[in-house]
Structure 1
Amino acid sequence: MQPSASPYEERLTAPRSWWLVCLLVGVSMALILLPFGTLALLGGLAGGTAVSAVVASSYGSARIRVVGGSLIAGDARIPVSALGEAHVLDPEEARAWRSFKADARAHMLLRAYVPTALRVDITDPADPTPYVYLSTRDPERLAAALDAARTAA
């Protein structure tokens, strides 16, 4: 049983292949600095790997949470009372909603390496945002958590 304080929490971590790319960036930096000597080569390897790893980690640090009657998606905090119906999107539908079906006014927490998503309508008439698009690995569970938070509020 999950604790009632946080019925849903997900971190949209970067895929494992990105960490290999970080190492390859470090190797590239090392090769670029090879003419300047061994110390520069080692510095390029360490520095290039570290900088690219920080970038990959920060991009993959986005979180989606349902806590205390609110949906927290990245920097956005939306009360569940302002949310309407949640639509589970399979990979093909998710691709459509992040491309040709997308609305420029929508709030999107988009990670292209996560194939599935959840689209949640915004029902607040004062908010011009039509919906929230959330890349998530478990859209059914997120939709259930939002429904549970809505009924509890």
Structure 2
Amino acid sequence: MPDYRERLWPTPRIYVATLLLIPASILVLAPVSMPAGIVTGVVLYLALVGSLAMTAPLIEVQGGRLRAGRAEIALTVVGEAVPADEEQARVERGTGLDARAFLVIRGWIKPVVRIPVVDAADPTPYWLVSTRRPKELAAAINRSRRPDVQESGA
């Protein structure tokens, strides 16, 4: 059983907004063929919904490893995870972002967790991961880390 597991599905608002593909296709193709516009709009919408569902990354803490999307890292080489909500999350994703950081962020999910990488051989300073439950993810990471890696006060 994983210590933490979350799929970063798009919000329902994203699916509703993408419905605009259907009338847009109808408007473009109506002068040529109304049925072609309807069919094209529905096919485009279904393709977009399918791609959003298929590309929703999985965030998982299990067996001493953190998996974020297609990437994995051993929790023995990470520091203390720090959750960020509201204003701090905006800073983490914006002006406070290090260009070398590894990102698994989604625009429709505001909170993030910052996970420092303490491996001196790794050029990535930290991972920044979107999550709807930042405190739970940070707690799962911090519980799963090896005790000899934990930092004092950082």
When the two structures are superposed, what TM-score results if normalisation uses the length of structure 1? 0.89
Give the partner amino acid of 2:4: Y
Change (3 A) 1:55 1:27: farther
The DSSP-based 3-state class of the residue aligned with 1:84 is coil
Aligned to 1:21: 17
Distance 2:50 2:26 in 1: 18
Distance 2:109 2:38 in 1: 34
Change (3 A) 1:26 1:152: farther
Shift of 1:39: 2.5
Find the partner of 1:142 among 137, 140, 149: 137
Matches of residues 21-60 of structure 1 in structure 2 within 5 Å?
21-59=17-55
Distance 1:134 1:85 in 2: 14
Distance 1:97 1:45 in 2: 37
- Alpha carbon RMSD of aligned pairs, Å? 1.7
- The answer as to whether partners of 2:22 and 2:38 remain within 8 angstroms in 1 is no
- The answer as to whether partners of 2:5 and 2:61 remain within 8 angstroms in 1 is yes
Unaligned runs of 5+ in 1: none
Aligned to 2:61: 66
The DSSP-based 3-state class of the residue aligned with 1:113 is coil
Matches of residues 59-138 of structure 1 in structure 2 within 5 Å?
59=55, 61-138=56-133
Kindly tell me the number of residue pairs found equivalent between the two proteins.
Answer: 148
When the two structures are superposed, what TM-score results if normalisation uses the length of structure 2? 0.88
1:85-119 alpha-carbon deviations (Å, 9 max, x no partner) = 11111111111011111101110111121111110
Distance 2:131 2:3 in 1: 15
Unaligned runs of 5+ in 2: 149-154
- The answer as to whether partners of 1:91 and 1:117 remain within 8 angstroms in 2 is no
